[in-house]
């Protein structure tokens, strides 16, 4: 059983992961290990959708700086964090980060490993590692650059500047800014959880795969996934429902 986070599988198909590691939710080795195990469990037995959240004032303050040593310890630390965040990114469901406060360093990288970021008005994002004389080691340089573009990513990683919710929305780091991030995340996740989950997983997979390959290869991947989607039970339900009742009325099974 995890001790530094909670996993709540709700009746509406939404699984909520809440970081609970003290005041600042530092991503200690122990918490990152629990995150990795939780991601594996969510992949092995997927819910309808996932919401990952942290504290109200502090989503997560980043890697636990008190565990840092020298260059020798840096390798295992970055491998551990990458492993956990890759496992979160690979969950075959829509994963939403609900960020109401500070998401710094590894906290920002955790949000970046999710599929979608909903921010509250007091959310703050940043990669302040440079202020320690180091750089992001949990995917920040790569996932941030893919999301906001290389120049903004470089500016954030090289100055350590933090952005508020509105600025995060403007640069594409946050997808929505709302008064109550958690309420909105749960609402969206519940809606997604009622959808055709196999097709959703295929869409996520080909979009992610396409980001690290050529356009040609990505387009071929889409064709294969399109065909695979037609092999699902939900595609038959969806098409039949459209022809009989019009758009948006299908009752999907998730299969």
Just list the catalytic residues: 63, 106, 109, 129
Q: Is 58 in the site for ligand COA (CB under 6 A)?
A: yes
Distance between CA atoms of 255 and 234, rounded to whole angstroms? 6
Q: How far is the CB of 251 from ligand COA (least distance, A)?
A: 44
Q: Is 39 in the site for ligand COA (CB under 6 A)?
A: no
Is residue 109 near ligand COA by the rule CB under 6 A?
Answer: no
Specify the stretch interacting with ligand COA by CB under 6 A; choose among 32-40, 99-107, 201-209, 222-230. Answer: 99-107
138 binds ligand COA (CB under 6 A): no
Does residue 102 touch ligand COA according to CB under 6 A? Answer: yes
Q: Which residue is nearest to ligand COA (CB)?
A: 105
Task: Write down how long the chain is.
Answer: 255
Is 81 a binding residue for ligand COA by CB under 6 A? The answer is no
Binding-site member from 4, 24, 157, 188 for ligand COA (CB under 6 A): 24
User: Count residues contacting ligand COA (CB under 6 A)?
Assistant: 16
- Crossing angle of helices 29-44/71-89, nearest 10°? 30
Give buried/exposed letters for 51-62 (b at 16+ CB in 10 A, else e). bbbbbeebbbbb
CA distances from 241 to 109, 200, 232 (A): 40, 18, 15
Residue whose CB is less far from ligand COA, 129 or 234: 129
The answer to whether residue 129 forms part of the interface with ligand COA (CB under 6 A) is yes
- Find the part of the chain contacting ligand COA (CB under 6 A) among 23-31, 142-150, 208-216, 218-226: 23-31
Determine if 201 is a binding residue for ligand COA (CB under 6 A): no
Q: Which stretch binds ligand COA (CB under 6 A): 39-47, 61-69, 85-93, 239-247?
A: 61-69
Q: From the list 16, 17, 63, 144, which residue makes contact with ligand COA (rule: CB under 6 A)? A: 63
- Integer Cα distance of 129 and 132 in angstroms: 5
65 in contact with ligand COA (CB under 6 A): yes
Secondary structure of residue 193 in the 3-state scheme: helix
Distance of CA 233 to the CA centre of its chain: 27
105 binds ligand COA (CB under 6 A): yes
Rounded to an integer, what distance in angstroms lies between the CA atom of residue 178 and that of residue 156? 23
User: In this structure, what are the phi and psi dihedrals at residue 109, rounded to the nearest 5 degrees?
Assistant: -65, -35
Report in angstroms the alpha-carbon separations of 139 from 146, 156, 225. 11, 14, 27
Alpha carbon dihedral 208, 36, 1, 4, in 10-degree steps, equals -100
Query: Is residue 125 close enough to count as binding ligand COA by CB under 6 A?
Result: no
Which residue ranges make up the site for ligand COA (CB under 6 A)? Answer: 23-24, 26, 58, 61-66, 102, 104-105, 128-129, 132
């Amino acid at each position: 059983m995890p001790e530094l986070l909670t996993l709540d599988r709700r009746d509406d198909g939404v699984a909520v992961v809440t970081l609970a590691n003290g005041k600042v939710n530092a991503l200690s080795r122990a918490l990152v290990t629990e995150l990795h195990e939780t991601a594996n469990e969510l992949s092995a037995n997927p819910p309808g959708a996932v919401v990952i959240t942290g504290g109200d004032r502090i989503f997560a303050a980043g890697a636990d700086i008190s565990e840092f040593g020298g260059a020798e310890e840096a390798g295992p630390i970055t491998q551990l964090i990458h492993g956990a965040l890759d496992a979160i990114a690979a969950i075959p469901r829509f994963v939403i980060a609900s960020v109401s406060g500070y998401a710094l360093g590894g906290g920002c990288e955790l949000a970046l490993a999710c599929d979608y970021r909903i921010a509250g008005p007091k959310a703050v994002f940043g990669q302040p590692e440079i202020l320690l004389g180091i750089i992001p080691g949990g995917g920040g340089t790569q996932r941030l650059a893919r999301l906001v573009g290389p120049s903004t990513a470089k500016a954030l990683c090289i100055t350590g500047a933090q952005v508020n919710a509105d600025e995060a929305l403007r640069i594409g780091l946050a997808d929505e800014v709302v008064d109550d991030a958690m309420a909105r995340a749960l609402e969206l996740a519940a809606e997604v959880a009622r959808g055709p989950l196999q097709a959703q997983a295929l869409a996520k997979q080909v979009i992610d795969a396409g980001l690290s390959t050529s356009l040609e290869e990505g387009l071929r991947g889409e064709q294969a996934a399109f065909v695979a989607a037609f092999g699902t039970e939900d595609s038959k339900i969806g098409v039949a429902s459209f022809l009989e009742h019009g758009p948006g009325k299908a009752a999907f099974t998730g299969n």
